[in-house]
Structure 1
Amino acid sequence: MTKKYITGFSAVAVLAALLITGCKRETFKPLAAENFELANKAFIRFYNAALSTTKNYLYQGDVPLTGAAVAYGGVFPSSAGFYGTVNSGQQNLLIKDTTTGATQNQVTVSANFDAGKRYTIFTYDTLTSVKYLAVEDVIEVPADTSARLRFVNLPFSRTDVPNIDIYSKKANQNIFTNVSPLSATSFIPYASVQSDTLYVRATGTTDNVATLNNFIASRRRSYTLIFRGNYNATSGATARTLTSLLTY
């Protein structure tokens, strides 16, 4: 009886050992696909500030990156603060209207996208003369409760327009100064959870050419202010305007 008991115990022990060994093999199974699938990707957003454009799509090679069309004033991805992905390295992305007979010119975005970094591609100008500005989104999540804010200056005009200041009513001062057309600033610290009114002014003047009311930045988030539209139009669908975009 004793011998049978020991033999049975040994069989159970061997079975347990095999099960444990099997579990260990599963535990250390390579997970490269899960861990490294984004290792060679860059992150991008696309903001359309090109007047009168309605059906813009972004492609990498023959692969569409956008789903729904991006119209004037629209953004991809449409969810605030989100990014799409592209292969890193030197890339030629294509922005185009795929509608048969479309008059919009195709735009090739030729840029080097570093793996792991974030970028926003802004289009501007008009339907038949679309151009682009690609900007790296250097995101700094503050350790305190402040936010971050930058300004992109993309108005359309057939004549020269002045540089721009952005005046904060809450701060009672300019927070961006002398920003040239078709350029973007770096992110700056900005007070969060406070309603502010922001004014677009020609540099060195106090005349407001556009206004953003009730702007409130959430804690530790990054925003982009965009001045777009026809600089000489004060009404209508393409009138000059200042808008905000949650970037991160």
Structure 2
Amino acid sequence: MKIVVIGGTGLIGGKVVGKLRERGHDAVPAAPSTGVNTLTGEGLADALAGAQVVVDVSNSPSFDAAAVLEFFTTSTRNLLTAEAAAGVAHHVALSIVGIEGLPENGYFQAKVAQEHLIKEGPVPYSIVRATQFFEFVKGIADTAADGDTVRIPPVLFQPMAAEDVAEAVAGAAAEPPGKGTVEVAGPDVFRFDELVGKALRAWNDPRTVVADRHARYFGSELRERSLVPDEGRAHLAGLRFDDWLRRSA
């Protein structure tokens, strides 16, 4: 199959392209650097010609709430319109576990809007909701830092490797649509503050992690299970955080 991967040059997209090619598919990365712009529609028709599946793992260049909402809604509308015109049979999108539960998080609410457009759109779809990535832990610590102190809420956290996220997305793309929304998560549940502290120690980062129940996560105060799937609902990935951490350190 010809499978076009929107955002196919990024962290997840590049891995999805590789995994699809390993399965024998004609996986084509599409991004502004390849002449495809989902915000303006530039290059979409040519890129989608002959495609059976489109995978959307693109990301907003801005995290401002209004800009994120504009990116995901405009891009998704343009994609679905172009897919319908090209006869694409399956739209696969990457989303995030728990997005409905954090209304103060502008990024999460933009993903809610994106999912709604996909579900109401003209193309059969699969949505893969993933927990946070191991690769984001350093950025989360930087965002939560106040000098040498990193304030993290002591809630449950079940991250997974980008490699496993890509495997889940590629698997969904290689199968027929019809499964609706699936969730994937890491194999182990941690306390958020303890995991960040472990990572910083492994990286010889001198900052101190403090458990702060009211510390905000990208604008939202978290409940105990805000960032983890319901028990028994998610497919669990294989790579454990400690193994990934040893490699990264």
| Larger RCO: 1 or 2 (CA < 8 Å, sep 6+) | 2
Q: TM-score over 0.5 for the alignment?
A: no
Q: Which has the higher helix share?
A: 2
Name the TM-score class by shorter chain. under 0.3
The structure having more radius of gyration, on CA atoms, is 1
TM-score normalized by the length of structure 1: 0.21
